[in-house]
Homo-oligomer: A and B are copies of this chain.
Amino acid sequence: MARRPVSAASGVDERLLAEATRLFAKRGFDRTSVQDIVEAAGVTKGAMYHYFGSKDDLLHEIYGRVLREQTARLEKFAASEAPAPRRLKAAAADVVITTIENMDDVKIFGQSMHLLAPGKQRAVRAERRKYHEQFRALIEEGQRDGDFRTDVPADLVVDYFFGSVHHLGVWYRRNGKLSPGQVAEHYADLLLTSLNDKETAE
């Protein structure tokens, strides 16, 4: 029932995905009608149902892309030779930057994931969990190396940090006084500092 894009190059599906992303972020999933999307993409409803099995499919596909890309980026940072704290900081800063650069995707995550059909929701959650686990592994590595405090659970820290990151969509304004790079630096710094060993610190 859920047909997949036949080819990534056909253009029509790309346009549909792009417009859907924009509209979902702007008005919310339920407030965006299939009609709105196809009009914005300049195609007909029939065409959309040719490429995507349903409106839900569209949302699911948007999530899929974002997660695939994020995971790929994180893997690059995690694989470097540097010590854990340095790798973690770089990865954290990077995730902030990419989040800001793909704000629409992030907004959709926060506002619409709960609207996905249960099955697809589970799939997305599982994917995201894998992503979080890679991040957690970095923290745990730092804890084992004695670089990070151990009195706070690594996965709680991950949730703590990603909460902040997702929240960027709520407060960050492109034309505000902080550049994406500055926010990334502050966020990564706050994360690293909060992992400082207290014994050492005092």
Contacts and interface: CB of A to CB of B under 8 A. Distances in A.
Interface of A: 28, 30-31, 110-111, 114-115, 149, 152-153, 156-157, 159-168, 170-171, 178, 183, 186-187, 189-191, 193-196, 198, 200-202
B159 A163 contact: no
16 contacts: A28-B114, A28-B115, A30-B31, A110-B110, A111-B114, A149-B193, A152-B189, A152-B190, A153-B178, A159-B167, A160-B164, A191-B194, A193-B195, A193-B196, A193-B201, A196-B201
Copies in the complex: 4
Given A28-B30, A186-B152, A186-B153, A168 B178 contact: no
Please list the 8 inter-chain residue pairs (A to B) with the smallest Cβ-Cβ separation, ordered nearest first: A163-B167, A194-B194, A30-B30, A163-B164, A201-B201, A190-B194, A160-B164, A163-B163
